[in-house]
Amino acid sequence: MHPHSVPPPIADYASAALLDDVDRRIINGLQGGFPVCTRPYARAARDLGLEEAELLARLRRLLDERVLTRFGPLFDASRFGGANVLAAMSIPRQDFERIAQFVNQQPEIAHNYRREHRLNMWFVGAAETPEKVEAAFRYIEDITGYPVFRFPKEQEYFVELMLRA
């Protein structure tokens, strides 16, 4: 697998964790509630005690440094008939990188984490329809030869986490 095609290991994020007070204010204050208006950055900046240009520059830097994975609307695919299914595979060490690269290439795969367990690859399939997610899982099974264990959510116990920076 090409070293640049996957995010770096966790240790590489250490330098990104050097956040100042303004960064923390942005991260803690802007996990939701970004306004929908003509100049939303100006309004959000005012609430945070910043200038519009500074907020824009900070967001750009936090995204570049991958302190933030994204900035924008967080869609709930299940609310518009979309499907979102957790799945896991058990991949031997020698095949792991190759299979991870293949799985990640599928546009329906939204997240993929390596976890310490016999089931060591955990990913989310997301698409407009359950059929498209299921087709992606079947395709992964057909090409890799390894089974995909499906863990569709049967019940959600709703929570809202705010991560403190």
In the region spanning residues 85 to 144, those forming contacts with another protein, defined by CB under 8 A, are: 86, 90, 100, 103-104, 107-119, 121-123, 126-128
**Site track 47-86 with another protein (rule: CB under 8 A), x = hit:** -----x---x--xx-xx-xxxxxxxxxxxxx-xxxx---x
Please check whether residue 39 is in contact with residue 52, taking contact to mean a CB–CB distance below 8 angstroms.
yes
H or E element at residue 142: helix 130-144
Q: How far is the CB of 140 from another protein (least distance, A)?
A: 13
Q: How far is the CB of 20 from another protein (least distance, A)?
A: 14
CA-to-CA distance for 91 and 148, rounded, in angstroms?
A: 10
The count of other CB atoms within 10 Å of the CB of residue 105 is 9
H or E element at residue 127: strand 121-127
Exposed, middle or buried by CB within 10 Å (0-12, 13-18, 19+), for 145? exposed
Q: How far is the CB of 112 from another protein (least distance, A)?
A: 4
39 binds another protein (CB under 8 A): yes
Q: How far is the CB of 81 from another protein (least distance, A)?
A: 6
34 binds another protein (CB under 8 A): yes
